[in-house]
């Protein structure tokens, strides 16, 4: 639910696509990483996913996966 009700429509769409495509297959550690990512600001997340700014190292692998699902990279 947190993937779909972000506050900005762009992030709702991007994270909903990722959640629908990959969430069920994530292991507990990856789910924890995703949960931590959801605590980030939408504006930062959008810039990281769209490639406008590099993601912090802690989030970079997951951001790259989200971007690939969203079709941005």
Between 26 and 72, the more confident residue is 26
pTM of the model: 0.84
Distances (CA, A) of 28 to 31, 35, 36, 37, 68: 5, 10, 12, 14, 21
**DSSP assignment string, 6-55:** SSSHHHHHHHHHHHHHHGGG--HHHHHHHHHHHTS-HHHHHHHHHTSSPP
Integer Cα distance of 25 and 13 in angstroms: 19
Amino acid 4: pLDDT: 65
pLDDT digits (tens, 9 = 90+) for 7-59: 778 888 899 999 999 999 999 999 999 999 999 999 999 999 999 999 999 99
């Amino acid at each position: 639910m947190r993937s779909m009700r972000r506050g900005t429509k762009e992030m709702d769409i991007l994270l909903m696509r990722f959640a629908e495509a990959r969430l069920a297959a994530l292991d507990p550690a990856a789910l924890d990483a995703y949960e931590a990512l959801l605590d980030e600001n939408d504006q930062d997340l959008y810039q990281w996913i769209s490639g406008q700014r590099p993601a912090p190292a802690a989030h970079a692998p997951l951001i790259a996966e989200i971007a690939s699902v969203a079709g941005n990279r």
